[in-house]
Amino acid sequence: MKHIKTALLFIILLYLPLHGNIRPSFGVKSDFNYTDLKNSPTAPDYIFNNDTSFYIGFEYLTLNFYTSITPALRIYTTNNFSVEIQNGDFIKRNEEIAKITFAFDDIYFSYIGNNLSFYFGKRIFHFGEGFNRQYLFVGSSVLNDDFNALYNAEVNIYQDNITYSIGFMPDTDSIDLLENPEYYLSWYSVKYSTPSLGLLGIVDYTYNVEDKNNNLKLGFEASYIFNTGIKLYGSIIYNLIDADEIGKTTDDVNSLIGVNYTFIYDDIIINPYLEYFYEESSSFYSLGFYASFFDSLFSITSSYSYASNNKMSLIVIAGLNINDKFNLDFTYNTPLKTDEQLEQIFELGIEYNY
């Protein structure tokens, strides 16, 4: 048996270079987050976290197959905050604890044919249009951070302009921390697309392991690109079953409608947008733009949001990309009018890869 395994490993190592290209990959990326909070006797003054990964692996590419495996050593910090009363005064203690875990920065297998494709592993993907909101696969909607690498398996079947997709996904965050998944998710979608028109219908089922309940979402999205470069898009998500309860209120409906315009001149790309979205019985408006200069060497994204409860926020993201080898991103996020504890957030992301 031992000799058979050795022979199989030898055949695989011999087969790969002869039938495809192998490229080693290694790098380091680090994300720093500093959250400034308002003064409070029962909350910390600030929260600082760092998440750093060192990874090394390889990519393998043929005409139809692509494989990328990059195991990573992840070092990250968490905060242990407590409040004590001494002599009638609040004493705040905010301790930063460093933790180490092993995870895959990327583990990805794919096959793409004329009528069929399948994916397996951890990859960055999402459903949905919109600069600020993606309602599927990210839990509650988030701002400007929708593109997370997630463990998943997906099969796509192509028929003319129609794509049928079946997928499965466990809880990525728990797996990366070597813990049992808190949920399992599966979906079925049908997408129709032409150069100008896009239609997507999706059914999303989630089983919550901890609470042992079921969740079912129905979603539809449409987008259209005019000859002038203007793009209209909209989507609606209905939580048909939420924690085993049938959705009967407006809180169970999320929707988005937006318009953007793409302007291209030489190495300059400017993309302004305006969006309106509705969730949890509240309305939000977002106005912003994306700009890229010198063949994506430098980019900037700015977003202003206003909510119906009179809350406003401003987000500015500046990025530097050198030959897709070195990336530097700086993010500033601040509420302009709010009664929340948050003052402002500073984030710095650095990555070098080869």
Q: Cα separation of 255 and 274, whole Å?
A: 14
- pTM score: 0.75
pLDDT in tens, 165-196: 999 988 888 887 778 889 898 999 999 999 99
pLDDT in tens, 118-176: 988 887 766 666 665 554 544 444 344 445 678 889 999 999 999 999 999 888 888 87
260 has pLDDT over 60: yes
Residue (of 241, 95, 49, 74) closest to 173 by Cα position: 74
Share of the chain above pLDDT 90, in %: 19
Q: Cα separation of 97 and 80, whole Å?
A: 7
Burial (0-12, 13-18, 19+ Cβ within 10 Å), 224? middle
How many other C-beta atoms are found inside a 10 Å radius of the C-beta of residue 107?
19
Mean pLDDT of the chain: 80
Q: Cα separation of 33 and 344, whole Å?
A: 11
Residues 263-289, mean pLDDT to the nearest whole number: 84
